Copies of this chain bind each other. A is one copy, B any other.
């Protein structure tokens, strides 16, 4: 029979992998080779090298070259979900890259957040009629083709707002979903569509 590599992990290899994963999750950083060595009481770094090599070969670890603490457990990768930075309540400067104000992040399913996305904290109640409340988070997708009726995030004269997009003839309207508010005609104003709202998340 051909020399066939065992795709399953040996008990020891599993142990090493578990340690790396645990360390990664707990500290947010992978352990160094010597951390691993110390944890298992190995008397040589080479032992760790061997195990890491095996784990990489078996597809359990990713490792960039020559980077300190660069081991990444493949299985532990945030699968099927994305972490989005939350921007919001930005007064001046809008969402310009260098002036982003960081409000943390949320994790959403990849099926919700496809392509390049970011998150936004909803302020105000201009979209209350479709159930978007202050404090909710919306997932915004960049670079999508905007169609009539889409909910969009727009930068109008330096202010970020969420509205429904309506284009009739040559007129562009940003329509609030709130009976008590009036649509904004931005046809002659300076505005910029930041992206399209593709999802909403609320925490109780």
Contact = CB atoms under 8 A, between A and B. Distances in A.
Contacts of A76: 80, 83, 104-105
A124 B139 CA distance: 24
A192 interface: no
A98 B69 CA distance: 23
A25 interface: yes
Nearest to A26: B77
A75 B104 contact: yes
A159 interface: no
Contacts of A133: 130-131
A22 B25 CA distance: 18
Interface in A79-126: 79-81, 83, 85, 97-102, 104-112
A123 B150 CA distance: 23
Contacts of A130: 133
Nearest to A99: B11
Interface in A170-198: 197-198
A154 interface: no
17 contacts: A14-B100, A14-B101, A18-B97, A18-B98, A25-B105, A27-B72, A29-B69, A29-B70, A68-B68, A78-B81, A80-B83, A107-B107, A107-B109, A107-B111, A111-B203, A112-B203, A199-B202
Interface of A: 11, 14-15, 17-18, 21-22, 24-25, 27-30, 32, 64, 67-70, 72, 75-81, 83, 85, 97-102, 104-112, 128, 130-133, 136, 150-151, 197-204
